[in-house]
Amino acid sequence: MQPQESPPSPSLLVKYGRPGPRYTSYPAVPHWPERYPSARWAAALADLGERARSDPDHALSLYVHVPFCERRCLFCGCNVVLSRTHARGSGYVDLIRRELDRVLEATSQARLRVCQMHWGGGTPTWLDVADLIALHRAIAERVELLPDREQSIEIDPRVTTMAQLETLQRFGLDRLSMGVQDIDPTVQKAIGRHQSLAQIEHMVLGARALGIRSIAVDLVYGLPHQSVDSFRRTVQTVADLGVDRIAVYQFAYLPARLKHQRALDAAALPDADTRVKLFHTAATILARAGYEAIGMDHFALADDELALARRAGTLRRNFMGYTTRAGTDLLGLGASAISRIGRDFAQSAKAVPEYAAQVEQGQLPVVAGMELSEDDLARERVIQSIMCYGESELPRLGNGTAAQLSPRSWEQLAELERDALVRREGSRVVVTPRGRYFLRNVAMAFDAYLDRDDAAAQFSRTA
């Protein structure tokens, strides 16, 4: 999907600018039931163990959440623990080790093979070199890290050192994702995140020199004091660095839920019309620079694995964003980490003290989750296809029968078609170039849980 020639009209933005999920999962986390039996999650892990033993080709993705940051960025919506006491790192690594031991017990000590490993946060490089080594060793001693695995990490260029990257590269790191957000000093001051262009360039050049083959940069649009001209300079500067992937995320402004965002100047936030112009400007610059549009908000060079996966039909969206390994189970470790094993989601305790208490008691630290029904799985397939490829067949259950769409869903699809955001081709729904700006709205038409309750306060606006 490539960007349209001009952004959508203000009237469309007003009409479709409503709270909605970002669909890193379906159902979205706020729609998961209040209770999820720990025995159900243990059974899912037991099934994982059986698959690992019976299928020598079975491999999974492993996500490790490191929640610590030295200071708070005011725009951030991640699960973060503020601390400058880096000595806490070794204790947290030990908790990860013990949690993984408990997971392996639930799989009856199956040998799990890992084809993709990602460390996110927070700031994983908040851990010092010794703790990074200890964390990698704790994992490598317990699971089989496949030689051709994808291994990535999120970094903050303000706190990451070349010594940390050198250590991680020796252990197989081949991808890093770097938070930049915006290089404009006024915007940086407004969001409490100052980083110089020199720091960013140093990380990019250093990673290249180490042989790290893929570098991604995260940008955010919709931040206070952003203008089309200032964001144009940011995007062009990042594109000129020649990084492999660039994510252009919409700022999720949720001050009712994220109290630190109340420190932002709401009057300085761009309106909906400006926000879409910011994204359109970024998409135009990146297309001219040779980046392909991927899904909702990612751009990748043509030879990057993300672009190759989209062409091959193996692109997938999950809690790690867009990934290249479709159909793999996802095992999450650490406070707030989310797993997807078979047809089950599970999330660990968000607060580190609660997570630590459960791990220390020998428990699986799962506090929320959901087993997906056949209807959930059918809708998930449609929403995945919409979010990754911009088109999908109408949902069908596992036995081939059509899933039941509500009157609201049919009304929304008809409305989207009248506004030329989608077109119907028999049983297929195809997002138009104009509709690319409203992918979340298209996906929402297939979301059965939006018929049942109002979780608007949990979601950011779609436009």
Q: What is the CATH number of the domain that holds 209?
A: 3.80.30.20
Describe the chain by its helix, strand, coil percentages, rounded to 5.
40, 20, 35
305 and 361 together in one domain: yes
122 and 238 together in one domain: yes
Written as six digits, the tokens of 400 are 């081939």
Is position 18 within any domain? no
Cβ burial, residue 275 (10 Å; 0-12/13-18/19+): buried
Position 130, amino acid: A
pTM greater than 0.85 (yes/no): yes
Q: How far is CA 435 from CA 141, 292, 423, 432, in A?
A: 47, 17, 10, 5
255 and 288 together in one domain: yes
Nearest to 92 by CA among 351, 388, 310: 351
* Residue 450 main-chain phi, psi, to 5 deg: -75, -15
> Residue 122 carries which DSSP code?
S
89 and 158 together in one domain: yes
Inter-residue contact 36 to 42 (CB < 8 Å): no
Q: Phi-psi category of 162—alpha, beta or left, where left has phi over 0 and alpha has psi -120 to 50?
A: alpha
Domain boundary among 371, 389, 422: 371
Nearest to 423 by CA among 433, 23, 297: 433
CATH number at residue 407: 1.10.10.920
**Domains held by the chain: number:** 2
Domain boundary among 371, 388, 418: 371
Please compute Rg for the chain using Cα positions.
Answer: 21
Distance CA 120, CA 74 (A): 18
Is position 410 within any domain? yes
Written as six digits, the tokens of 372 are 């997906």
332 and 244 together in one domain: yes
Q: Which domain holds residue 147?
A: 24-371
- Going residue by residue through the chain (463 aa), what tens digit of pLDDT does each one get? 444 457 888 888 888 888 899 999 999 999 998 889 989 999 999 999 999 999 999 999 999 999 999 888 989 888 889 888 888 999 999 999 999 999 999 999 999 999 999 999 999 999 999 999 999 999 999 999 999 999 999 999 999 999 999 999 999 999 999 999 999 999 999 999 999 999 999 999 999 999 999 999 999 999 999 999 999 999 999 999 999 999 999 998 988 888 999 999 999 999 989 998 999 999 999 999 999 999 999 999 999 999 999 998 889 888 878 888 766 899 999 999 999 999 999 999 999 999 999 999 999 999 999 999 999 998 999 999 999 999 998 888 777 777 788 888 889 999 999 999 999 998 899 999 889 889 999 999 999 998 665 555 578 887 7
